[in-house]
Structure 1
Amino acid sequence: MSSEAKIRLDRVEKKYHGTSVPAVEELSLDVHEGEILVLVGPSGCGKSTTLRLINRMIEPTGGKIYLDDEDVTTVDPDKLRRRIGYVIQQIGLFPHQTIAQNIATVPRMLKWDKARIAARADELLHLAGLDPEIYRDRYPKELSGGQAQRVGVARALGADPEIMLMDEPFGAIDPITRERLQNEFLRLQAELKKTIVFVTHDIDEAIKMGDRIAILGERSVIRQLDTPERILAFPVDQFVDDFIGAGSTIKGLNFEQLSGLRLGGYPTIRSDQSPQAGLEALNESNKTWLLVVDEQNRPMRWMREGDLQQSTGSYQDEGSEVRIRLNAEDTLFDSLEQMLQSESGSCCVVDRHGALTGVVEMAHLRRAIRRAQVEARRHYEDLEDNA
C-alpha cells in the first residue's frame, strides 16, 4: 500500500434540490493507492452517497474529486465509470446474459477483441473460485447468492480497473457465506492490490476488511479516520465509542500476533522427572500450574500442586491434558479464546515441531492492551502538537 493519494476528495458537498441540509458536507478525504478504505456509519449518514459521488453517478454540488491528481468533475462521467469497478449489494447481474457475458460488460464497451474478452472472463472466474467450464455459460438464475456475488466482483474487475467501489457487497448474504466471501476477497486483494472504497454499516466487517476506517456521522462528517487498531484502542469521542460498541478492547486483540509477546519462563518438568521435581519447580515460580513436557519439549499436561502430590510419576491421568497449542502467527484473540476454554487459564505456544516456546497468561493480554492504548493516545497527542 502506497501513501500516495489515488483518490482525493476536496471539500466535496452534495445538496439535493429543495433541502437546506446537505447529504454530504464539505468532505475532504484521501484514499491511498492499494488500500481498502472503509466508510462506516449509521444509516442515512451519506456513505453510499459519497461512493456515488466518486464515480459521478450523482453530481457534487461543491468541491473537487481527483483521481491520480486529475479533477474528474470535468470529464465525461461515462468514461470515468469505465475506469472504476463498482459492486453493489443487489449485485445487478443482467438476467438475460450468461455469466461470461456479464463479466465482459465493460471490456465490450472498451471494444476489446473477442479472444481477449473470453480469456479475461475465464481468468476472472478462476480468480473468483468458479470453474469456467462449469459457470461461463450459465445464467444468473442458476447461481446461489454467494456465487452471484462472486460474479459481481468478477464483473467489476472485468477491465482490470485500478479503483473499485463496493457498496455493502456482502450485506445480503448469510453469515457463513459472507465470511467466506470476505476471506476470498481479502485473498484476492493481497494479490491484485486495487484501491478500494468499501461501504458498510457493520463495524465488525469494517474492522476485518479495512486497512483504514472512516467513521462517519451525519452529512458524512468524519468523526475518526485511522487504522482499525488505533480506532479500537482509542476512540476519539463518545460518538465513535458508542458506534464501535461493547467489546472494542477484545476486538483489538485480533491485530497482534503472539510473536509480539515477551513470554518469560514458565515452570515445566520433563515426563521422566519426578513429581518432587515438579513441586520444587512450582514452588519456586509462584504459579498455580506447571507444565509436563515430553523428551522433545512438547507440552503434555497441566499439573497443580495437588496433582503432583498424588502423582505416581506416570503423568497419564493426573492434571489436565494440553489440548490446544498455538503458533507464533496466531493472534492474541486466538489465545484468549483458548485460555477461556483451558482449565489452567493459560495457553501453550509451540514452534513448527510442536516444541514449547512459551505460555500465554492473562497478564500478557492486559499488558498488550495497555500498550496499544498508550501508543494510540500518543499518536493523537502528536497529531495535535503538530497541527
Structure 2
Amino acid sequence: MSTQQQSPEQRTDTPTREPKIRLDKVGKTYPGTKVAAVEELSLDIHEGEILVLVGPSGCGKSTTLRLINRMIEPSGGRILLDGEDVTKVNPDKLRRRIGYVIQQIGLFPHQTIAQNIETVPRMLGWDKQKAKARSEELLGMVGLDPERYRDSYPKALSGGQAQRVGVARALGADPDIMLMDEPFGAIDPITRERLQNEFLRLQGELRKTIVFVTHDIDEAIKMGDKIAILGERSTIRQIDTPERILAYPVDDFVDDFIGTGSTIKGLNFLQVSSLALTDYPTLEPSSTPDAGRAALQDTGREWLVQLDENRAPVRWIHADDLDGTGDERGEPVGELLHSEDTLFHALELMVQSASGETCVVDGSGAFVGVVRMADLAKAIRRAQYEARMHYEQMERQS
C-alpha cells in the first residue's frame, strides 16, 4: 500500500452540510428492457471527498457515473449539484462544469498535448494566453515538462504519460467535480501505482469532489475517502470509510467482494501512535552479559535490544548471544518504525525481524519500545469493535 494512504485522523465521517452532489432515487431503464440498469439510487457526495463506486462487472457503476453528467439521461429521480437539479439544465453546459477521465483516455490524435488540455477552456471562451498558461501549469502539475511535451502529439506518449494528460485535460477549466471511470485500469501495475500516488498528491492540494469508478477493491481502499460497494442495479450494499468497511463488512456479499485479507488491509488505517508500547529490555553499551541475563529473567523474554551511546537501537541480542562481542552477536534491528507509520508497515517489518518484533524510535532516533504481534491483534479487535458499535448506533437512530 502507498505511504500516501490517509490515516484515520485525516478521514472524517460525513459532514452534515449540504452535499456537493446528491442522487435522489435516480434510476435508468433502457428502452426495450424490463430490468433497470440503475434502480432508485440515492447517494450523497460531499465537497472535497473522493467517493469510489466499486462492485462486480455489470452492476451499473459506469452507468451511474454517466448519469451524473447526463451523458445518458435518467429514467427517473433527481440529480442535484450544489442543490440545483441538473436534469433541468443544458447538458452541454453541465458537462463543462465537470472533469471526466476514462480508461481509454480519448485524447484527440491530431491535436498537440497543449491543444488537448485546452479543449474545455477554449469551449468556454478563454483567450489564447489564459488557456496556454493553464495548460503549462497543468502539465507541470501532473509531472510532465511543458517544454518537452506541449507540442508533442498523443502518439509520442507512453500509456502512463497519456493518462497524465487525460487527468490534466479533465482539470483544464478547474472544475469543482471530477468523474473518473477506471482511469488507471489499462496501465501496468508499477505505472498504475505511481499515477495513483501522484493523483492523491494532487488531490491533497486541489480538494476536488470526485466520483471514481473501479472494479478493484484494493484501488478503492487506496483512493477513496468513502467507498460505495454496489450490487446489481447499483443497489448500495455498504457505503462507508474504507477502514470501517474492512473492519465490519455488513453482509456476506460485501465480505465476499472484499475477499481474503481484509483484516490485514485494515492495518493500513491504523498508526503506530495508536498503540500503547510496552517496556522492553535493553542493553546499554556498558552493560555486562550478566546484566542482560538479569533483564531477560525479569521480563521473561528471549531477546534484548542493544542500544548505542545515543540510545538508538542497533541489534537484537538473543539470550544465547550475550557472551559474544560487537557485531558478532545478535542480529541487526533493521528498519525502524516511527509514530506516524502504519501498522501494515509494522507487520511487514515484523516478519523480517529476527525477534518477530519491530523497534520504534522517537524523532531523535532514540528507542521508545517495540511493536509485537499481540499489539496488532489488539488494534484489529479494537477497530472491529468500534465499527460494530458505529453500526449498532446507526440502527438505533434509524
TM norm. shorter chain > 0.5: yes
CA distance in 1, matches of 2:209, 2:302: 51
**Partner of 1:99 in structure 2?**
113
CA distance in 1, matches of 2:336, 2:286: 22
Query: How far off its partner does 1:316 sit?
Result: 2.3
- Equivalent residue letter for 1:223: R
**Partner of 1:168 in structure 2?**
182
Query: How far off its partner does 1:288 sit?
Result: 2.0
Q: How does 1:1-387 map to 2 (within 5 A)?
A: 3=15, 4=17, 5-308=19-322, 311-312=323-324, 314-387=325-398
* Structure 2 unmatched ranges of 5 or more: 1-11
Query: How far off its partner does 1:200 sit?
Result: 0.1
Q: TM-score, normalised by structure 2?
A: 0.95
Secondary structure of 1:287's partner? coil
RMSD: 0.9
CA distance in 2, matches of 1:106, 1:204: 32
Secondary structure of 2:351's partner? helix
Query: Which 10-residue stretch deviates more, 354-363 or 371-380?
Result: 354-363
Q: TM-score, normalised by structure 1?
A: 0.98
Query: Which 10-residue stretch deviates more, 319-328 or 185-194?
Result: 319-328
**Partner of 2:4 in structure 1?**
none
Paired residues of 1:146 and 1:173 also in contact (CA < 8 A): yes
- What is the CA deviation profile of residues 181-219 of structure 1, one whole-angstrom value per residue up to 9, with x for unaligned ones? 000000000000000000000000000000000000000
Paired residues of 1:328 and 1:351 also in contact (CA < 8 A): yes
**Partner of 2:9 in structure 1?**
none
Query: How far off its partner does 1:175 sit?
Result: 0.1
Give structure 1 regions of 4+ aligned residues with deviation exceeding 4 angstroms: none
CA distance in 1, matches of 2:245, 2:301: 35
Secondary structure of 1:146's partner? helix
CA distance in 2, matches of 1:288, 1:385: 49
- Equivalent residue letter for 2:336: R
- Equivalent residue letter for 1:353: S
Query: Which 10-residue stretch deviates more, 293-302 or 72-81?
Result: 293-302
Query: How far off its partner does 1:355 sit?
Result: 1.2
Question: How many residues are aligned here?
Answer: 384
Identical pairs, percent:
72
- Equivalent residue letter for 1:207: I
CA distance in 2, matches of 1:323, 1:34: 39
Paired residues of 1:271 and 1:315 also in contact (CA < 8 A): no
- Equivalent residue letter for 1:15: T
- Equivalent residue letter for 2:196: Q
* Structure 1 unmatched ranges of 5 or more: none
CA distance in 2, matches of 1:31, 1:199: 14
Query: How far off its partner does 1:261 sit?
Result: 1.0
